[in-house]
Amino acid sequence: MRPPENPATLPFAKGERLKTVRHLGRLFAQIWATSPGLVAASLVLRLVIAVQPPLVLLFTKLIIDEVVKQTALGAPGPAIGDWFANGRLTPMLLLLAGEFALVLSRDLINRAIQLVDTLLGEMHSNRVSLDLMRHADRLDLKHFEQSEYQDKLERARRQASSRSTVLSQVFGQAQSVVTAVALAAGLILYAPLLILLMAVALAPAVWGEFRFNRLAYWISHNRSPERRQLEYVRQIGASAESAKEIKLFGLGDFLAERFGTLSAQIYAENKKIGIERTIWSASLGAISTLAYYAAYGYIVWRTLNGEFTIGDLVFLAGSFSGLNGYLQQILIGFTQIAGQSLYLDDLFSFFDIEPTVLDPVDPKPFPQPIRQGIVFDNVGFKYPESERWITRNLNFTIGAGETVALVGENGAGKTTIVKLLTRLYDADEGRITIDGIDLKDFAGTDLRANIGVIFQDFLRYAMTARENIGVGRIEASGDLERIMRSANQSLADEVIEKLPQQYDQPVGRMFNKGQDLSGGEWQKLAIARAYMREAQIIVLDEPTAALDARAEAEVFSRFKNLSSDATALLISHRFSTVRMADRIIVLNEGQVLEAGTHEELVALGGRYAELFELQAAGYR
């Protein structure tokens, strides 16, 4: 993916590029909300410092003119005391003191601005990161299971910690404009022709900056998939989780080669634009330098003709040089800000994504307790941007207090059913009810508060053992008695008792003093997390895949005894586990193929009996 050669093919139509500038207002509102006091302090300090450069030049002009004047009058006496006694040094000393105060205060104010901007930048970065996390929490699961949204999230993450500098640039621009206006006032008074000359000289540089800012953004925007791949390869190429497999399969060179290929592609594009930008900038900078010295020669010529004093010469030369620099900074700065606003679009476009799985305006209370059960009524579902139905005309019930096991080959729709039951997705057809109430009529938080789910790919939190269980019911995470009870129910207490600090032991290898656990030990902590929820509905999706047969049998024996009042949905490929269920539902291509107890299904001699016999034969 190479940068476009024709500027007409650059991203965003002109109208769209202008629309991205609107994000500056959103950014200002966001930063103002972060700390109004620091924003106000930055603005006031910049306003004060903006008027200092022309004032310093003015003092310099007055000092030089005073020196020339006093030189022409001759010395009042041979000693310095004669100068003081005569009073002729007083104006000079006052002017020097004034300029000294301006220079000294400028340094102090610059340091204050740097401090304020640093504090504001860190506060804003933290705020945006928090907002990003909270907004991500609002979004649907589909936003994390599609590459398009993952690219948007990746771009937003990259911008979250660096976009506060854009507002500093805007404030800096305002400061430069005030300074430039003050400097231009003097030039207009003496030589207005210089202003026109300067504007003509700067136009090519502004065009060049604008073009290359757009090119740089184009690469950053369109390389998001490759950058995600790069970060993925970087992560798995040197992580504790992947180390064993990489060594066993000898993948080190393969991953290193892939990283090198991806990084070389991105580097080549950045290098090409960097070289082009340097050449253009040097060429256009030479034009500005030529214009400056032409104007400088014009000022010197008028001074030689007696139209300007020496002080005027210094003032005008300094003003023109300063104004040239400030106008370049302002005009090029505006193109940079316009370019940065493209990156702001990466950030705010993610915040503009809205969830589609929404709570009802007037949610109904969740049944306490569940009296009838769960009904899947002609449920049909296909994943976004897919034409394949995962489930279609799916009908089954789970009675209140009943334990139902779902059985089926991979792709039969078992995990999708769990996602639909927990409203991580909404069904495209039909409806799912609990005690006759459609899931869509419950508030999402209320529904999920009454469902405890553990997936096979559960998270392993790099926290303490206590916290790994406590996250199952975060509002009760300080209740150690409840945590210990949940650990006992899942057999995790046996794991925790062996740890040096027991419940306060950090687990996992990510942080210092963390102690890693085996797959089965992690799984017991995860199952304890589900018990911690003390929910009316418990869903276990392949929860014991890493446990040995004895541990699995004991876990499910306890589960059966402890969940007698709960409505349970169990997904497993192990028939020794599912036979404990009150009823077994066999799925095939998203529909119910068979249903009954273990004994009934074996006697039926259908798909379940076939699968059971295949698995049982492996143990003979």
Q: What is the DSSP string of 552-609?
A: HHHHHHHHHHHTTTSEEEEE-S-HHHHTTSSEEEEEETTEEEEEE-HHHHHHHTSHHH
DSSP string, 231-300: HHHHHHTT-HHHHHHHHHHT-HHHHHHHHHHHHHHHHHHHHHHHHHHHHHHHHHHHHHHHHHHHHHHHHH
CATH homologous superfamily of 458-534: P-loop containing nucleotide triphosphate hydrolases (3.40.50.300)
The neighbour count for residue 592, using CB atoms within 10 Å, is: 17
Residues in the chain: 620
Mean pLDDT, rounded, for 64-76 = 79
Q: What is the mean pLDDT of the chain?
A: 79
pLDDT at 4: 44
Instruction: Tell me what the mean pLDDT of segment 354-369 comes to.
Output: 88
* pLDDT of 343 over the 70 cut: no
User: How much of the chain, in percent, has pLDDT values that exceed 70?
Assistant: 78
User: What's residue 11's pLDDT?
Assistant: 44
d(CA 210, CA 262): 28
Question: Does residue 590 or residue 292 have the better pLDDT?
Answer: 590
CB atoms within 10 A of CB 193: 11
Per-residue pLDDT of 302-313, as tens digits, reads 778 877 788 877
Q: Which pLDDT score is estimated for 107? A: 86
C-alpha dist (Å) from residue 544 to 468, 505, 577: 17, 23, 9
pTM of the predicted model, to two decimals? 0.66
Is residue 13 over pLDDT 60?
no
20-41 pLDDT per residue, tens: 567 777 778 888 888 899 889 9
- Give the pLDDT mean for 1-27: 54
Q: Collect all residues with Cβ–Cβ distance below 8 Å to 240 and sequence separation of at least 6.
A: 509, 510, 516
Of residues 126 and 554, more confidently modeled: 126
Residue 457: Cβ-neighbour burial (10 angstroms; 0-12, 13-18, 19+): exposed
DSSP at 377: E
The SS3 of residue 452 is strand
Q: Which CATH class is domain 23-229+278-351?
A: mainly alpha
pLDDT class for 10, splitting at 50, 70, 90? Answer: very low
Res. 5: pLDDT tops 50: no
Measured CA to CA, the distance from residue 563 to residue 556 in angstroms comes to: 10
Strands 591-596 and 583-588: antiparallel
pLDDT at 439: 93
| pLDDT of residue 250 exceeding 60 | yes
Of the spans 213-227, 371-385, 536-550, which averages the highest pLDDT? 371-385
Strongest mean pLDDT among 84-88, 197-201, 594-598: 594-598
Rounded to an integer, the average pLDDT of 119-124 is 84
Domain segments of the chain as ranges: 23-229+278-351, 362-369+379-450+540-620, 458-534
Please report which confidence band the pLDDT of residue 1 belongs to, taking 50, 70 and 90 as the band edges: very low
Q: What is d(CA 224, CA 138) in angstroms, rounded to the nearest whole number? A: 23
pLDDT digits (tens, 9 = 90+) for 404-435: 989 888 777 888 898 899 888 899 999 999 99
Pairing of strands 403-407, 391-399: unpaired
The CATH architecture of the domain made up of 362-369+379-450+540-620 is 3-Layer(aba) Sandwich (3.40)
- For the chain, what percent of residues have pLDDT higher than 90? 9
| CA nearest neighbour of 419 among 245, 336, 539 | 539
Looking at 406-518, list the stretches that DSSP marks H as alpha helix, in order from N- to C-terminal side. Answer: 414-421, 444-449, 465-470, 480-490, 492-497
Sheet holding 437-438, edge to edge: 391-399, 373-381, 429-434, 437-438
Same CATH fold assignment for domains 23-229+278-351 and 362-369+379-450+540-620: no
Question: Element (H or E) spanning 454, and its range?
Answer: strand 451-454
Surface-to-core class of residue 459, CB atoms within 10 Å of its CB (0-12 exposed, 13-18 middle, 19+ buried): exposed
Residue 242 identity: S
Most confident region among 18-32, 145-159, 171-185 by mean pLDDT: 171-185
pLDDT value for 397: 92
The pair of structure tokens assigned to 404 is 């139902």
